Amino acid sequence: MCGIVGIRDAGGVSFSIYHALYALQHRGQESAGISTFDGTRLFKHKGQGLVAEVFDSAILEALEGNVGIGHVRYPTTGANRPENAQPFNFVFRDRIISIAHNGNLVNSRELREEFERRGQIFCSTTDTELIAKVITDEMSTSGCIEDAVHRCMRVLKGSYSVVMMIDGVLYGFRDPLGIKPLCLGRTEKGIIIASESVAVDALGGSFLRDVLPGELICIDDEGMRSLQIARSSQRAHCIFEYIYFARADAVLDGALVYDVRLKIGEKLHEEAPVCADSVCPVPDSGTAYAIGYSAGSGIPFVESLLKNRYMGRTFIMSTQNEREKAVRIKLNPIRKHLEGRSVVLVDDSIVRGTTSRRIIGIMRDAGAREIHVRIGSPPIIAPCYLGVDMPTREELIANGRAEEDVRRRITATTLHHVTIDALVEAIGLGRENLCTGCLTGCYPVEIAGEKSAPPAVDYVDGTYQTKLETFGT
Ligand code: AMP
């Protein structure tokens, strides 16, 4: 989980990157960074904290140039350390390089050991630095960026959406299965590559399309080109992006996330109807689902829990105790809407079960008579190795437990998780094109000790590039 952006714009880029990162803040709150290039020099700034805490106008003014990349970080691989903040900047054979990545590699240890055996050093524990090493390793022999990305797509195992800037040329590429999102947009005078379409919207730009799995996009003085490096008949888009992670107003690989969640809400009603006084979302993650449930059932949508907007995600708390207290501060019940009522409580997912149990407790304290919990994802039974920060199997409440057991533990009156078939139908991309690892325990890439069914990937030789767009400088 991380957000990335790359922009080329004749009018300067630092403020645009800042606004785009702001729109992607939900993808990572631990650190933020921007690198820009003015034709000869690299300007960079990064730090721990939210985008608005890391940057101010003076800092942004100092980030000169018409091309740049940015990153917001939510740690998966690599500890919470300042040196792990991205973009990762370095010079290689007089070429000034900056790179940022969203995803998680599953063979980083092997790759790292291989480089270290050859005497290479690392100054961070991130996958991003490893990707940079694979790129420079290939550049040192062929000198060609396209070859270097080709090599990345062959040796990197896992998920990776990458933005990269080499001497002011902007690149973006996505792993051959398209696990993490990446899209293209046009602004008045430029081009943007970003994790989610909401970053394009934030700049008043127009959405062009998703970067294809296995595709390399190159944006330089002449315009924008595409090189399809790897092809697979199947994709493996992260299903959890639709369930929880992406913003509801994002369009991911052709599907508007809001619509998907609305449909899931309707399906939750079809699968598990109940007689109740109101449908209440867990804000904000359950809202679109609850509207769908209400529309399908005719039961009024009544907000009964109000969220404190100034509170970060409860997952940021490091201990269980802190997490439990945080839920209470984050959500306040509206007693009048709950007293003596039977309520359908709708949320996106249950991970550890802490949030649901606490919320149900709060609602019962406020007088709710019955709480029928409806969840927009099937039970999460397995960890994610491909970029979503999920706890271990042991901490997942649904792992090894029947739904009835989970219901009892979270103290709900009734509980239903949407079925995987209904979820897949709501997304509309076909099950074969989705990574369902956290729901099934079967992954689209090989992972030691886990079940997997990796689709075949073909690599396209040659350097033919499709010209997408031409613009002057
Ligand atoms: P819990 O069951 O207490 O672990 O919390 C689950 C809630 O946290 C869900 O309803 C989501 O809204 C949210 N959530 C789910 N997955 C994540 C994640 N990987 N990081 C942060 N929040 C999450």
d(CA 17, CA 29): 16
Q: Do the beta carbons of residue 312 and residue 25 sit within 8 Å?
A: no
C-beta of 327 in contact with ligand 1 (< 6 A): no
Per residue of the chain (473 residues), give pLDDT as tens: 899 999 999 999 999 999 999 999 999 999 999 999 999 999 999 999 999 999 999 999 999 999 999 999 986 656 677 778 999 999 999 999 999 999 999 999 999 999 999 999 999 999 999 999 999 999 999 889 999 999 999 999 999 999 999 999 999 999 999 999 999 999 988 999 999 999 999 999 999 999 999 999 999 999 999 999 999 999 999 999 999 999 999 999 999 999 999 999 999 999 999 999 999 999 999 999 999 999 999 999 999 999 988 876 545 556 767 766 777 788 899 999 999 999 999 999 999 999 999 999 999 999 999 999 999 999 999 999 999 988 899 999 999 999 999 999 999 999 999 999 999 999 999 999 999 999 999 999 999 999 999 999 999 876 667 778 776 43
The residues with which 184 forms a beta bridge, in sequence order, are 193, 209
Nearest to 219 by CA among 149, 167, 152, 150: 167
| Candidate from 29, 351, 380, 381 with most ligand 1 atoms within 8 A of CB, to mutate | 351
Residue 74, amino acid: Y
d(CA 448, CA 430): 26
Q: What is the pLDDT of residue 10?
A: 93
C-beta of 210 in contact with ligand 1 (< 6 A): no
Of ligand 1's atoms, which has the minimum distance to the CA of residue 350?
2
315 CA distance to ligand 1 middle (Å): 7
- Which residue has its alpha carbon closest to ligand 1 atom 18? 389
Q: Is 256 helix (H, G, I), strand (E, B) or coil?
A: strand
Of ligand 1's atoms, which has the minimum distance to the CA of residue 1?
19
Give domain limits for the chain.
Answer: 3-236+458-464, 256-443
C-beta of 245 in contact with ligand 1 (< 6 A): no
C-beta of 349 in contact with ligand 1 (< 6 A): yes
Of ligand 1's atoms, which has the minimum distance to the CA of residue 390?
19
Q: What is the DSSP string of 421-435?
A: HHHHHHH-S-GGGEE
Let me know if 275 is exposed, middle or buried by CB neighbors in 10 A (0-12, 13-18, 19+): exposed
pTM of the model: 0.95
C-beta of 409 in contact with ligand 1 (< 6 A): no
Q: What is the pLDDT of residue 77?
A: 58
- Which residue has its alpha carbon closest to ligand 1 atom 9? 349
Q: What is the CATH number of domain 256-443?
A: 3.40.50.2020
Of ligand 1's atoms, which has the minimum distance to the CA of residue 397?
2
- Which residue has its alpha carbon closest to ligand 1 atom 11? 349
C-beta of 145 in contact with ligand 1 (< 6 A): no
351 CA distance to ligand 1 middle (Å): 6
66 backbone φψ class: left, alpha, beta (φ>0; ψ -120 to 50): alpha
Q: What is the pLDDT of residue 189?
A: 87
Q: Is 441 helix (H, G, I), strand (E, B) or coil?
A: coil
Nearest to 44 by CA among 101, 89, 97: 89
| Candidate from 349, 360, 362 with most ligand 1 atoms within 8 A of CB, to mutate | 349
Q: What is the pLDDT of residue 424?
A: 98
Q: Catalytic amino acids? A: 2
Give the phi and the psi of residue 208 in degrees, each rounded to 5. Answer: -95, -65
**Cis peptide leading into 284, omega within 30 of 0?**
yes
- Which residue has its alpha carbon closest to ligand 1 atom 21? 315
d(CA 254, CA 213): 13
C-beta of 86 in contact with ligand 1 (< 6 A): no
CA distances from 325 to 75, 319, 328, 354, 407 (A): 23, 10, 6, 11, 22
CA distances from 378 to 281, 347, 388, 409 (A): 17, 12, 16, 17
H helix runs in 89-191, sequence order: 108-117, 127-142, 145-155
Q: What is the pLDDT of residue 143?
A: 82
Q: What is the pLDDT of residue 390?
A: 87
Q: What is the pLDDT of residue 269?
A: 98
d(CA 432, CA 235): 7
C-beta of 418 in contact with ligand 1 (< 6 A): no
| Candidate from 180, 355, 356 with most ligand 1 atoms within 8 A of CB, to mutate | 355
- Which residue has its alpha carbon closest to ligand 1 atom 10? 349
Question: Under CATH, which architecture does the 3-236+458-464 domain have?
Answer: 4-Layer Sandwich (3.60)
> Which residues are within 8 A (CB) of 399 and not within 5 positions of it... i.e. 6 or more apart?
380, 381, 382, 393
Q: Do the beta carbons of residue 18 and residue 70 sit within 8 Å?
A: yes
User: What's the helix, strand, coil split of the chain in %, to 5?
Assistant: 35, 30, 40
Of ligand 1's atoms, which has the minimum distance to the CA of residue 353?
2
DSSP 8-state code for residue 7: E
d(CA 106, CA 385): 7
